[in-house]
Amino acid sequence: MDLGWLLGRARTSFHHAASTVSLPTVKGSKTTLDAICKSVTPTCNLNPLLFNGHLQTAWTVIKSAGPPIVYKRRIFHATDPNFAGTFAVDFVTDAAPSEPDNTLPPRTTYYTEDEFANIGSDDTKPMLISLHGLSGGSHEIYLRHVLAPLVAQDSPNGGWEALVVNSRGCAMSEITTGILYNARATWDMRQVVKWCREKFPNRPLYAIGYSLGANILTNYLGEEGESCELQAAVVCSNPWKLEVSSLALQRTWLGLNVYSKAMGSNMKKLIERHKDQVMKNGNIDLERVMKINYLHEFDREIQCPTWGYPTEGAYYRDASSADALLGVKIPLFAIHAQDDPIAVDEAVPYEEFKVNPYTVLCATSMGGHLSWFEIGGGRWFARPATAFLQKMASEVKSRKVDEKNVSSGLAAKASDASGFQSPFSFEPTRRKMRVPSTQTYG
């Protein structure tokens, strides 16, 4: 009997293809993705008082200050007319505001027009794009635990540049049209990556996503495939199969009346703040929305009529990122706690990790949802996440230096001992929600 939980010692396991992609190092040698992920993952020693996923997850409501990160905000206007509206992007800066702006999250001010006009640079600093969890934002403590060691000037790469893409209406931003965000809202991320490539042509780009943001990021990576501009990415506490996770929440008292109710309440408050814009959709019943208690009810009353889904189950199946994992063609490191009560273990696509050599999953036996609290308040997941990004940025050659450095990878077609290959193919990012556009991701 394993009694490691009594001491806060979580078991750690890795799940990946038999041969992961080969990556050239700056020293001229080669390494593999799984070797990198294993080398940067420390022993998982957590707070023994928080000995299961519920306690770990519950501890997130104890709001410590967390690492201070200062931001400057810019409002972006969507360039894709199918997803018209605005969204807020918060850029990490070292210039602390002289006085707080109460219309924004803490330590956040707006760029002036002159400041933003001169934001472009030819430098080669690594740059991180972050996607937060459901109803969160750049202010979230879990997100700042990763940003703080990367942007520090004494970091191995001399201080990363970083930004956070806030989902529409989150982090005290405005919703300006009837277009909200959902679990597969990759359009704002796509626009930001394109913008970064134009403004910072020499910066290697990386990304990290948390919870719902992890699902969005994985979908984005799968949709982009070999055309992806990112060098590598990390996802933490991804719910992967949204219908599976939703049903798991609904079948227990804690899942339904604590987690689902809390998330549903947060999303309901977001709609209440922006109801004038949201109601422009015309097919949303505000009276029914005001009776929402749980997250799946929110998705039924808001996401379904907004995006044309007949049921929340149809939405969940279409927006899930488990299949998109098979389309990922850049190094991806996923971190998951097997006792996560929200992004449940039964929803993790373990088999898909075993066939895509561009992906590695690190699973710990304990940790909860975006938690992994250590003694002292640190969050364990931030250590392998930042170490992976640092190693990829400092020791692995940019893909633009040698586009042929990665093996051709995904064994998506079944074959038997005779060498027969099926003539049929699987499209991992083919979605059912369509827009009147030629865009393949619509």
Encoded amino acid at 249, one letter: L
> What does the DSSP 8-state code read for residue 406?
S
Q: What's the rounded Cα separation, in Å, for the pair 320 and 431?
A: 10
Angstrom distance (rounded) from CA 358 to CA 325: 9
- How confident is the model at residue 100, as a pLDDT? 86
DSSP 133: -
User: What DSSP designation does 358 have?
Assistant: T
What is the C-alpha to C-alpha distance for residues 230 and 206, in angstroms, rounded to an integer? 5
Is pLDDT at 155 greater than 80 in this prediction?
Answer: no
Of residues 420 and 43, the one with the higher pLDDT is 43
Of 429, 395, 373, whose CA–CA distance to 62 is shortest?
Answer: 373
Q: For residue 267, what are the contacts with CB-CB under 8 A and spacing of at least 6?
A: 134, 135, 292, 295, 298, 302
Q: Which residues contact 73 (CB under 8 A, 6 or more apart)?
A: 88, 89, 90, 91, 104, 108, 109, 110, 111
Kindly report, residue by residue over 75-124, the tens digit of the pLDDT: 999 999 989 999 999 999 988 888 889 999 999 999 999 999 999 999 99
CA 256 to chain centre: 24
CA angle 375, 157, 392 (to 5 degrees): 80
pLDDT confidence of 346, banded at 50, 70, 90? Answer: very high
440 pLDDT higher than 50: no
List the domain boundaries for the chain. Answer: 4-241+320-395, 243-319
- pLDDT value for 163: 98
DSSP state of 60: G
Lowest-pLDDT choice from 75-89, 145-159, 162-176, 323-337: 145-159
pLDDT at 417 over 60: no
Burial of 67 (0-12, 13-18, 19+ CB in 10 A): middle
pLDDT given at position 397: 93
Phi, psi of 327 (to 5 degrees): -95, -5
What pLDDT sits at residue 304?
94
Helices (H), 131-274: 141-151, 187-199, 212-224, 242-250, 253-254, 261-273
pLDDT band at residue 4 using 50, 70 and 90 as cut-offs: low
Name the H helices within 200-303. 212-224, 242-250, 253-254, 261-273, 275-278, 286-289, 295-298
Under 8 Å between Cβ of 263 and 238: no
For residue 280, the model assigns a pLDDT of 79
What are the tens digits of pLDDT across the range 264-283? Answer: 999 999 989 998 888 877 68
379 confidence band (pLDDT: 50, 70, 90) = very high
**Strand order from edge to edge, sheet including 127-131:** 12-16, 359-364, 332-337, 230-236, 205-210, 127-131, 161-165, 86-93, 70-77, 108-110
The reported pLDDT for the residue numbered 441 is 39
Tell the burial category of 117 from Cβ atoms under 10 Å away from its Cβ (0-12, 13-18, 19+).
Answer: exposed
Tokens representing 159?
């201080």
pLDDT of 7 higher than 50 = yes
Kindly report the pTM of this predicted structure.
0.93
User: What pLDDT is recorded for position 244?
Assistant: 98
Q: SS3 string of 112-131?
A: CHHHHHCCCCCCCCCEEEEE
* Distance in angstroms (rounded) separating the CA atoms of residues 355 and 328: 11
| pLDDT band at residue 398 under the 50/70/90 scheme | confident
Measured CA to CA, the distance from residue 339 to residue 401 in angstroms comes to 40
E runs forming strands in 292-395: 332-337, 359-364
| Encoded tokens for 44 | 């998982």
How many other CB atoms sit within 10 Å of the CB of residue 276?
8
Q: 7 versus 331: which is more confidently predicted?
A: 331
- Say yes or no to pLDDT of 414 above 50: no
Q: Is 148 helix (H, G, I), strand (E, B) or coil?
A: helix
Class of domain 4-241+320-395: alpha beta
| Mean of per-residue pLDDT scores for the chain | 91
Tell me the residue length of the chain: 442
Over range 183-209, report the average pLDDT.
97
Distance CA 305, CA 271 (A): 14
Q: Where in the sequence numbering do the catalytic residues fall? A: 211, 340, 369
What's the average model confidence in pLDDT over 234-262?
97
